[in-house]
Structure 1
Amino acid sequence: MGKSLQVVEALSPGQNLEAYVRSVSAIPVLSVEEERELAERLYYNNDLEAARRLVMSHMRFVVHVAKSYSGYGLAQADLIQEGNVGLMKAVKRFDPNVGVRLVSFAVHWIKAEMHEYILRNWRIVKVATTKAQRKMFFNLRSKKKSLGWLTNDEVKAVAEDLGVDQAVVREMEGRMSSSDMAYDAPVGDDDERAYQSPAYFLEDHSNDPARQVEDENWENDSNTRLATAMSQLDERSQDILAQRWLTEEKSTLHELAAQYQVSAERIRQLEKNAMKKIKVAMLEA
C-alpha cells in the first residue's frame, strides 16, 4: 500500500511543485547494472515492482524535460504529469536487449506526451493538427530569437532549414502570434469595452427576410428537381428509394429483398444505380 501511494504521489505533482521536485530528486539514480536487471525482470517476468523502480528513478528526468517547455505559459505541474504518462509508456515498451539506456528511449515518449498537451491547451483553437504542422510549430518556437515577427531573412533561413516553403513558415508564425478571444464579453465589462467581443459584431442572418425567401425557394426547387428525377425511374427503383429514404420507418435491404424475392446485394445495386440516376437528373434539370 505504501509503495502504491508513493507512485501516485510521484506521478501527481499537485500544488506544491517545489516539494515534488525535491522528492523525485532524492530518489537514487540506477546504475547500468541495476537498470538492466530491473528491465529484464519487467520484460521477461512482468515484474510490477521492477516497473515501479524504473519509473520512480527517472522522475527527475521528466522534471528536467518539462523545464525546457516553460515558455508556453502552461503549468509546470501539468507538463510533468503528462511527461510521467509518457515515461510509463516508455517503461512498458522498453526492451533491455536493444542495448540503450532507458533515458535515451524514454525521452521521445516523454516529449510526445508533452507536445500533445501543449497543442491541446496552448490555444482554444488548435494551431497545429497535422504531423507536419506539429513539427513546424515546435521547430519555429525553438528558432525564433525574439517575441517579434521574423524578418524576411529569418523566414528564409527557417524555411530552408526545415525544408518547407516560406509561406508555410509565415502561416504558422501568424497562428502562433494570434490570441484567443471569448465570444461573449467578460462579466463586468462596461458598454465601451463590451462591444469589442465577437458577440456584438457578428451578424445574425436567421431572421433576414431575403435569406428566408431564398432558402424557401431553394428548398422548393430542390423538391421539384427530386420529384422530376424520381418520375424518370422505373416503379421498382422508385419504391426501393422511397422505402429506404423517404419514409419514417425505413426498410432494410433484407426486408426489400424478401419483398422482391431477390438477394440483398441485388437491392443494394438497384439502390446505388437509382441514386446515380437521381443525381444526374437533378443536375440536368
Structure 2
Amino acid sequence: MTAMTPALSSAAPVPAPVWSSTSLTLPPLGNLDAYISAVNRIPMLTAEEERDCARRWREQHDLEAAGRLVLSHLRLVVAISRQYLGYGLPQADLIQEGNIGLMKAVKRFDPAQGVRLVSYAVHWIKAEIHEFILRNWRMVKVATTKAQRKLFFNLRALKRDLRAGAADEDAVRERLSDAEIDVVARELKVSRDDVIEMETRLSGGDVALDPLPGDDGEDTHGPIAYLADHRHEPTAVLEARERELLASEGIERALAQLDERSRRIVTARWLQVNDDGSGGATLQELAHEYGVSAERIRQIEAAALKKLRKALEAYAA
C-alpha cells in the first residue's frame, strides 16, 4: 500500500476538505500548520463506514477504501505526535513516521475483531514514532533492549511529574536525585542501576568524531584521532605481512648465502637469547671459540650483516 498522505506545496488558506462520490478531495497545502488544519477538517467515518471500507480493503484490495481509512485518521497521528515534541525532533518528521505506522495498521486491520481502527492504530503509530526517535535522537543508540526502550520513553515523563513545579525545561533536564531514582525504579519496576545508566545516557550529548576548527583556524584533536584502528587498513596489513615474511623466510634464505662461520657469528650475536633473557654471545666469547681476536669477529660480523641486508633487499623487491 503506497503513502496517501497529502503533500505540502505553497502556503494558502485551507478550505475544508470534502468527500466526493468516489474519493476525498484535498486542497493544496503549504506549511505544517496548514497540513494540521486540513487533516482536522477531514470528516470522520462512522462505525458502519469504517467496517465497510475495511472489508472492501481486505476482500477486494480496494485502495480507495484503504485511503479513506488512512485519511480519516490522520488527525490521530497529529495528536500522538504532540506527545513526543520534547525530544527535539521536528513534528513534521514525527507525523510522517506516524503516518507510516497508520498505514501499516490499516493494512492489517480486521473489522471482524469488533475493535475500532482508532484503538488498533495507536500501537502501530507509536511504534513507528518510537523507532524514529531511537534512530535519530542520538548518533549512537541509547536504548536497544525492550527494558531500555521502556525506560527511555518513560523516564522523561516521570521526571516531569516528579518536578511538576519546575519553572522551565532546564529544571526537568537536571540529573535525578537518589530519592527520585528510587521512585522511578519502583514505578517502572527496574533496578536503580538501570535508571542511573539511562539517566547518564540521556544527559550526555553527542561528540563529533572529526576534529573541529579551533579559534586560531587550525583543526583540534577529535576522538577520531585516538579511536581509529589502523591495524586492518590494507597498507598496514600488507606491511605486517611483509615483515612476517622477512622475519621468517627472508632471513632464512639470506642466512643460507653466508658461509658457516659467518652464519654462526650472526646467529649467536643477533638471533639467540640466553636463558636469563639477556642478549646473544659477546665478541670475546666468539673470539675464544674460534681462536681469533675480538676485532676479527667484529669484522666478520660487519661483512656478514652487509651481505644479509643486500639479500633481504633483493628478497623484498
Give the TM-score normalised by structure 2: 0.59
Counterparts of 1:90 and 1:131, CA distance in 2? 21
Q: Deviations over 1:144-165 (max 9, x none)?
A: 1221111111111111121111
Q: 1:143 to 1:205 in 2, by over 3 A?
A: same
Q: Deviations over 1:205-254 (max 9, x none)?
A: 97xxxxxxxx89xx79xx9xxxxxxxxxxxxxxxxxxxxxxxxxxxxxxx
Of the candidates 173, 189, 197, which is equivalent to residue 214 of structure 2?
A: 189
Aligned length: 209
Q: What is the SS of the residue equivalent to 1:69?
A: helix
Counterparts of 1:185 and 1:14, CA distance in 2? 42
1:72 Cα offset (Å): 0.5
Counterparts of 1:47 and 1:192, CA distance in 2? 61
Match of 1:156 in 2: 182
Of the candidates 44, 53, 68, which is equivalent to residue 53 of structure 1?
A: 68
Match of 2:140 in 1: 125
Q: 1:92 to 1:196 in 2, by over 3 A?
A: same
Match of 2:23 in 1: none
Asked if residue 178 in structure 1 is aligned to residue 204 in structure 2, the reply is yes
Counterparts of 2:77 and 2:95, CA distance in 1? 6
Q: 1:191 to 1:36 in 2, by over 3 A?
A: same
Q: Which amino acid aligns with 1:120?
A: R
Counterparts of 1:102 and 1:138, CA distance in 2? 24
1:43 Cα offset (Å): 2.1
Counterparts of 2:129 and 2:118, CA distance in 1? 16
Counterparts of 1:102 and 1:199, CA distance in 2? 49
Q: Which amino acid aligns with 2:104?
A: K
Q: 1:49 to 1:180 in 2, by over 3 A?
A: same
Alpha-carbon contact 2:57-2:63 (below 8 Å) kept: yes
Match of 2:157 in 1: 142
1:37 Cα offset (Å): 1.5
Which has the larger Rg?
2
1:15 Cα offset (Å): 6.9
> What residue ranges of structure 2 are gaps of 5+ in the alignment?
10-27, 161-171, 232-239, 249-317
Match of 2:195 in 1: 169
Q: 1:193 to 1:17 in 2, by over 3 A?
A: farther
1:203 Cα offset (Å): 8.8
Q: Which amino acid aligns with 1:100?
A: V
Of the candidates 83, 108, 119, which is equivalent to residue 123 of structure 2?
A: 108
Q: 1:193 to 1:33 in 2, by over 3 A?
A: farther
Match of 2:6 in 1: 9
Alpha-carbon contact 1:25-1:60 (below 8 Å) kept: yes
Q: What is the SS of the residue equivalent to 2:173?
A: coil
- Sequence identity percentage: 57
> What residue ranges of structure 1 are gaps of 5+ in the alignment?
207-214, 224-285
Q: 1:164 to 1:88 in 2, by over 3 A?
A: same
Alpha-carbon contact 2:211-2:219 (below 8 Å) kept: yes
Give the structure with the higher percent helix.
1
Alpha-carbon contact 1:83-1:110 (below 8 Å) kept: yes
Alpha-carbon contact 2:102-2:124 (below 8 Å) kept: yes
Give the TM-score normalised by structure 1: 0.65
Q: 1:8 to 1:110 in 2, by over 3 A?
A: closer
- 1:250-269 → structure 2 map (5 Å cutoff): none
Q: Deviations over 1:5-61 (max 9, x none)?
A: 9x3425999971111111111111111121122112222222211100000000011
Match of 1:256 in 2: none
Q: 1:103 to 1:25 in 2, by over 3 A?
A: same
